[in-house]
Structure 1
Amino acid sequence: MEITALGWGLTIGLIAALFVLDLGMGVLRPHHVGFKEAAAWSTFYILIALGFGVVLATQVGWDYGGQYFAGYIVEKSLSVDNLFVFVIIMSTFAVPDRFQQEVLTFGILLALILRAILIALGATLLSLFSFMFLLFGLLLLWTAVQLFRHRNEDPHVDDNLLVRAARRFLPVTDEYVDGHMITKVDGRRVVTPLFIVLVAIGGTDILFALDSIPAVFGVTQEAYIVFVANAFALLGLRALFFLVTGLLDRLVYLSTGLSLILAFIGVKLILHWAHDLSDAVPVITTPFSLAVIGVILVVTTVASLVKVRRDPTAKAHAGTVVVRRAPGRPAQEQEEE
């Protein structure tokens, strides 16, 4: 698929305009976001993403259009798991409602920048070295296994290397100072908890990008489609956070569903690599991928709601691929437990 410089420019301009709109809502006008407002903005971003996919398909063909929709669905489903972690971070640091939008908006900006860099790097590696499909596939399979094994756990903010470094090397105040990230106390510059929250979200973005970028490359090898699928999935994240925060606890099988999706895409990448070596190895088509991912998400959601209805005490967890180790205990001993 050939995308001209003008096409790239118009796409980046559209995404930048949407982000500026989101920035204005989240930072320049901090306020508590109600359900109606969150639902309206979530619907708006989803319609924009769907409309872009239709326009793309009419311009370059429905084969590429199908790849975009598959990539968007994968990224959107993974972004819901992002929201789990964001909720944990917000709760851990007791972020006031009026400042949560600011943190989310800047966190999304960091994610967009980081993923653009990783997409360019991933596309270059895939074009130069075919075995990268094998490595990406194995990475996703490992992630899927870890996520399934620890599906009933939540990640801990204290395990975030960037947060630990910030707390160790930077002076931090205990107060949220009118939404500022840096302030002065007794004539000395200090960072506020809002800065640490942003660092925590930025560190989380790095971990999620390492999974989501290989995952979306599993449904398309077009860097342009990978970029726009990620961008449109992330742009609606701020509104989606306020829309589904109260519903996340009910998605008790979400981590299980995501682990199955990652495993499926990992197998698809490995088959793609093997197909380049021998035509006898089958490949998984985009329509089949869309169908499998859609079925997993529907079954996961319905099963979660049924489970919560039968057992109101059931609670969802974000899942984690990093095992938390208690201080002073050998890793082997904890792994055996």
Structure 2
Amino acid sequence: MSVSPLIWGITVVAILALLAFDYFFHIRKAHVPTLKEASIWSSVYVGIAVLFGILVLVFGGTTMGSEYFAGYITEKALSVDNLFVFLIIIASFRVPREDQQKVLLFGIVFSLIARTGFIFLGAALINSFAWVFYLFGLILLLTAGNLLKPGDHARGQSENFIMRLAKRFLHTTDHFDGDKLFTMHHGKRALTPMLLVMVSIGGTDILFALDSIPAIFGLTQNVYIVFTATAFSLMGLRQLYFLLDGLLDRLIYLSYGLAAILAFIGVKLVLHALHENNLPFINDGEPVPVIEITTALSLGFIIGVLLVTVAVSLLSKAGKAQTAINSARRHAVEFMDLGYTADPAERERVYRLLTQEEAQIQAMDLKYRNKAKDVDKIRALVAEAHRQHDEYPRQ
């Protein structure tokens, strides 16, 4: 089903309006969103995406609606994986808690721009060259394999390289000046880490686009559906970041689930490529009679894998131990870092989380506790956090 330019225009304006609303009503004044605020607005954006999908079902038909929901769920799952890397980048740059929203919104906007470019490029390639399906399928299969490698999320730790490069060729400062991108340093105009972290996130966004766009093209070749599913999956990502804060580490098997989904879609793309084959060295340039995976089967597989992945992660004792230990280390460092946040209420919130995680760790079996790396260093960090908390009222 073709979509009229009028519908395209209305859709683009609506998405830009949502981004503008997010900035002017939530981002302009730097603050740390409460759990209630993050929950409400995350639900609102998911509700908008679902409502849009229902409209697609009603006006576009069952096939178009199913393709939208399959694409939206897949892109949303991949966007949650993106949050792991955003978390690493933001932590490595020590972005003040109050200013993290602005960084996240920039990441969302840049990601939307990058993915839109890849969408139209991908559509043009598909329309001109049927063999592109082979390429997309290969990209997804390789990505699935990479997700199974330990430490895949470390790909977001580009801060050291960027900082070294920036310091070598540009005048930079090590300190944030609120949410400013430039500041005066030793009488000269200098770049702040805020600009550098945005560049770092922008670079990783391009890498994410290389993963996600082939994935959704494996579910539908309708450019309107690809664009809207991608755009709505990014809406509310900022709120989701704060809502899932402390829970992201708990999803220890998410990479396996995403690997299964991407491999499934990669196989689906290769099968489709064989069905549409025109490469002379494959079956003499004739289509290969193979089965094609339906959208309904794709949607069911994606939802099933995500449900199993989340359930196993949340119920796993090893996952609970790893989450509590990693979170205790992170919150101890955050509490002691006044550059991260000097807000007394926020520091007290972080300290309460730290004590809760300590209680969870103490209640766990030793075999799970002792699996963590650098246990002695973590204990020392936590002890120092307690010491500083006891002295904080007198500071």
Q: TM-score, normalised by structure 1?
A: 0.89
d(CA) in 2 for partners of 1:209 and 1:167? 28
Q: Which residue of 2 is the match for residue 328 of structure 1? A: none
Label 1:72 to 1:156 Cα distance change in 2 as closer, same or farther (>3 A). closer
Q: Which residue of 2 is the match for residue 141 of structure 1? A: 141
Larger Rg: 2
After superposition, residues 25-44 of structure 1 pair within 5 angstroms as 25-44=25-44
Label 1:159 to 1:144 Cα distance change in 2 as closer, same or farther (>3 A). farther
What displacement does 1:32 show? 0.7
Q: Which residue of 2 is the match for residue 285 of structure 1? A: 294
What displacement does 1:150 show? 2.8
Q: Is the 8 A contact 1:181 1:193 kept in 2?
A: yes
Query: Does residue 217 of structure 2 align to residue 209 of structure 1?
Result: no
Paired letter, 2:301: V
Q: Which residue of 2 is the match for residue 154 of structure 1? A: 154
d(CA) in 2 for partners of 1:126 and 1:239? 34
Instruction: Give deviations 1:54-74, integer Å, cap 9, x for gaps.
Output: 111111111001000000000
Paired letter, 1:71: G
Q: Is the 8 A contact 1:158 1:164 kept in 2?
A: no
What displacement does 1:168 show? 3.5
After superposition, residues 174-189 of structure 1 pair within 5 angstroms as 174-189=174-189
Label 1:238 to 1:2 Cα distance change in 2 as closer, same or farther (>3 A). same
Label 1:163 to 1:141 Cα distance change in 2 as closer, same or farther (>3 A). farther
Paired letter, 1:101: Q
Q: Which residue of 1 is the match for residue 320 of structure 2? A: 312
Q: Which residue of 2 is the match for residue 245 of structure 1? A: 245
Paired letter, 1:33: P
Alignment size in residue pairs: 316
Which range moved further: 263-272 or 160-169? Answer: 160-169
Q: Which residue of 1 is the match for residue 62 of structure 2? A: 62
Q: Which residue of 2 is the match for residue 301 of structure 1? A: 310
Q: Is the 8 A contact 1:137 1:270 kept in 2?
A: yes
d(CA) in 1 for partners of 2:137 and 2:109? 28
Q: Which residue of 1 is the match for residue 225 of structure 2? A: 225
Query: SS of 2:298's equivalent?
Result: helix
Q: TM-score, normalised by structure 2?
A: 0.77
d(CA) in 1 for partners of 2:183 and 2:266? 46
After superposition, residues 12-161 of structure 1 pair within 5 angstroms as 12-150=12-150, 154-158=154-158
d(CA) in 2 for partners of 1:298 and 1:242? 22
Q: Is the 8 A contact 2:181 2:194 kept in 1?
A: yes
Which has the higher relative contact order, 1 or 2, with Cα contacts under 8 A spaced 6 or more apart? Answer: 1
d(CA) in 2 for partners of 1:266 and 1:72? 17
Q: Is the 8 A contact 1:160 1:200 kept in 2?
A: no
Which range moved further: 149-158 or 29-38? Answer: 149-158
5+ residue gaps in structure 1? 318-337
Label 1:119 to 1:92 Cα distance change in 2 as closer, same or farther (>3 A). same
